[in-house]
Amino acid sequence: MKIELLNIPKEELLNRLKKNQALGWVHTSRSKNDGAVGNTLEDLLEIPENNLAIANTVDWELKA
């Protein structure tokens, strides 16, 4: 299985985070499981789901 990592520059990731912060409270887009918060964050940031022990992008690992 080949894993493709995104190459998102730091500035782009920060812009996406700030855009989503402006949304305020967001209900999970997934069923309430252990990873629902992280999955919702990945959905909002438009990055592929990744529950593996590797970074979400070339340089960044998101934790929620």
How many Cβ atoms from other residues are within 10 Å of residue 39's Cβ? 19
In a domain, 11, yes or no: no
Residue indicated by tokens 């409270």: 25
In a domain, 18, yes or no: no
What's the predicted TM-score (pTM) here? 0.71
In a domain, 17, yes or no: no
- Round the CA-based radius of gyration of the chain to a whole number and report it: 12
Give the pLDDT score at 3.
59
Based on the structure, what is the number of domains in the chain?
Answer: 1
| pLDDT averages per 10-residue partition of the chain, 64 residues | 69 90 87 80 82 70 76
- For 50, the domain range is 27-64
In a domain, 7, yes or no: no
How many Cβ atoms from other residues are within 10 Å of residue 50's Cβ? 18
Q: What is the DSSP letter of 34?
A: T
